[in-house]
């Protein structure tokens, strides 16, 4: 670096700084609005580097003092209006977190160059998050479910330690965390031994059979959600049935109801919408009459059942039923009060209802209403990375339906920042493939397409 500076070779400085930042020429080009070929020519001294704004943007992206590129010190603190936002430590972007860069609440009426620079900056920052984040190295690969398949066939599943109450509780909590943080590869590897551990508790300790039934049911419910994420609908049907079987063997009403929700989801994934809706609604009504569980937990599970049923009805195109059921979910959220995750139950409250209203509106073909609901959500307050990523993906779907490719892409970048493994799903790949028609106006979209598996 010192030799390059002494020789007045900004191209060499860029090359060395880019390598130190672990960025490819393609990634740097996407962040600055240039092609990889242009970056290569700059680094080799074949293309002049005299544009102050370009040099300032490069310095910002590479996190180096502008003076290294021959700029005066004032450019370090007063970049031009087209400057790409500098990534914060850890890849955090204020704009992505509050949604202003997605919904257009900032910068409406901006000139195309400014919008392109902003979008390039978002893409570059997200690349840094994905490449540097925990678990990013395995994000592009599909988690293997062989161990879970073997367990279901009674051919595997070694308990993850001595079957004690404490260890089983830890196993369930760890599985919830893995799912909530979208560590699907970790979860897929760990679930078989965790389920086997919970099963062993019931076999080896008579006084642990109730906890065993509850834990096995909860773990199979998590397995069902994982299988749905990965598009393994046949396997999801089996794990949902195992969840309900275990719950009915000795778990409480809340666990039974949650298992019914998984059964409903598996029916929906098979295309049996009427049956799926009926399963969820019946479980919600049955739970409403139960008084064995504390009210916050009961309302949380009941509300999620109604929201799930509303989504299924919308999937079927039944507008009246979908609106009626999301209304039931909203009334339940009002009774519960603020967003919360009562002990042992899934997140529910007004925000969860809004999230489902986005999906319902999108499925019923009303993208504008979906975006109106999305604007009311504070993504920063959603409890898990999985929830935040799903929210942004639903926002992207709605903008895609509305034929707004730039905002769709921004939402997908926000989803990737929240949870890289969540954007490797089929729906995102399909949207990304359609965005490739706009690759000249969406900086970094080709790199994004490679990361999510839309391009190979």
Q: What pLDDT, on the 0 to 100 scale, is given for residue 19? A: 82
pLDDT band, very low/low/confident/very high, at 132 (cuts 50, 70, 90)? very low
Is residue 434 over pLDDT 90?
A: yes
Closest by Cα among 390, 411, 414, 416 to 132: 416
- Does residue 88 sit within a domain? no
Residue 154 counted as domain residue: yes
Q: Are residues 68 and 155 in the same domain?
A: no
Looking at per-residue pLDDT, the higher value among 61 and 149 belongs to 149
Statement to judge: residues 159 and 229 lie in one domain: yes
What are the structure tokens assigned to 456, written together? 């190979």
Residue 19, domain CATH: 1.10.260.40
Q: Which of 179, 191, 83 is nearest to 144 (CA)?
A: 191
Q: Report yes or no on 456 lying in a domain.
A: no
Chosen domain end from 196, 231, 251: 251
207 compared with 443, residue with greater pLDDT: 443
Stronger pLDDT, 95 or 100, i.e. the higher one: 100
Residue 74: partners with Cβ closer than 8 Å, 6 or more residues away: none
Are 435 and 409 spatial neighbours (Cβ–Cβ below 8 Å)? yes
pLDDT of residue 280: 98
Question: 429 versus 107: which is more confidently predicted?
Answer: 429
Spatial separation of the C-alpha atoms in residues 94 and 410, rounded to whole Å = 13
Range ranked top by mean pLDDT from 46-55, 124-133, 230-239:
230-239
Give the domain range for residue 193. Answer: 144-251
For residue 370, being part of any structural domain is answered with no
Q: What is the reported pLDDT for 425?
A: 86
Which residue among 228, 251, 274 closes a domain?
251
Angle between helices 385-401 and 165-180 in degrees, nearest 10: 30
DSSP-derived secondary structure letter, 293: S
* Orientation of helix 209-229 relative to helix 184-204, angle to 10°: 160
151 and 76 within one domain: no
Could you give the percent of the chain with pLDDT greater than 90? 58
pLDDT of residue 162: 86
What is the count of structural domains for the chain? 2
Q: Is the pLDDT of residue 119 over 90?
A: no
Is residue 435 within 8 A of residue 408, CB to CB? The reply is yes
The chain-wide mean pLDDT, for the chain, equals 84
CA distance 163 to 62: 51
Residue bearing tokens 């098979």:
270
Residue 384 lies in a domain: no
The answer to whether residue 161 is domain-embedded is yes
**In this structure, is residue 171 part of a structural domain?**
yes
pLDDT-derived band at 84, boundaries 50, 70, 90? very low
Q: Is 142 helix (H, G, I), strand (E, B) or coil?
A: coil
Which residue, of 82, 98, 119, is where some domain finishes? 82
- Residue 331 within any structural domain of the chain: no
For residues 75 and 172, state if they share a domain: no
């Amino acid at each position: 670096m010192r030799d390059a500076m002494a020789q007045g070779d900004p191209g060499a400085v860029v090359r060395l700084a880019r390598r130190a930042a672990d960025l490819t020429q393609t990634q740097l080009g996407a962040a600055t609005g240039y092609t990889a070929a242009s970056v290569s020519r700059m680094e080799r001294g074949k293309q002049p580097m005299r544009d102050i704004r370009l040099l300032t943007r490069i310095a910002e992206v590479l996190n180096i003092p502008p003076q290294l590129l021959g700029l005066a010190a004032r450019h370090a603190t007063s970049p031009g209006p087209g400057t790409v936002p500098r990534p914060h430590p850890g890849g955090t972007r204020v704009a992505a977190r509050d949604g202003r860069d997605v919904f257009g609440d900032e910068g409406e009426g901006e000139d195309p160059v400014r919008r392109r620079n902003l979008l390039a900056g978002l893409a570059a920052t997200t690349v840094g998050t994905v490449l540097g984040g925990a678990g990013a190295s395995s994000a592009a690969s599909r988690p293997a479910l062989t161990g879970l398949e073997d367990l279901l066939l009674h051919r595997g599943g070694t308990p993850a330690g001595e079957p004690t109450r404490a260890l089983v509780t830890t196993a369930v909590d760890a599985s919830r965390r893995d799912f909530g943080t979208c560590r699907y590869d970790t979860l897929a590897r760990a679930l078989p031994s965790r389920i086997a551990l919970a099963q062993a508790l019931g076999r080896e300790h008579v006084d642990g059979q109730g906890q065993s039934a509850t834990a096995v049911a909860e773990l199979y419910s998590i397995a069902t959600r994982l299988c749905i994420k990965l598009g393994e609908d046949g396997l999801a049907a089996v794990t949902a049935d195992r969840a309900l079987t275990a719950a009915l063997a000795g778990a409480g009403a809340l666990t039974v109801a949650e298992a019914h929700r998984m059964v409903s989801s598996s029916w929906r994934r098979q295309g049996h919408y009427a049956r799926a809706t009926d399963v969820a609604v019946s479980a919600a009504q049955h739970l409403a009459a139960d008084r064995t569980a504390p009210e916050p937990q009961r309302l949380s599970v009941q509300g999620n059942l109604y929201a799930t049923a509303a989504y299924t009805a919308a999937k079927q195109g039944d507008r009246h039923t979908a609106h009626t059921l999301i209304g039931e979910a909203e009334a339940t959220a009002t009774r519960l009060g603020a967003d919360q995750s009562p002990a042992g139950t899934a997140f529910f409250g007004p925000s969860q209802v809004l999230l489902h209203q986005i999906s319902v509106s999108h499925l019923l073909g009303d993208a504008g209403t979906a975006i109106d609901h999305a604007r009311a959500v504070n993504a920063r307050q959603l409890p898990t990375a999985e929830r935040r990523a799903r929210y942004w993906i639903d926002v992207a779907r709605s903008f895609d339906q509305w034929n707004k490719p730039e905002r769709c892409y921004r939402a997908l970048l926000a989803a990737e920042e929240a949870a890289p493994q969540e954007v490797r799903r089929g729906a995102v790949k399909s949207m990304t493939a359609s965005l490739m028609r706009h690759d000249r106006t969406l900086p970094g979209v080709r790199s994004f397409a490679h990361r999510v598996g839309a391009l190979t």
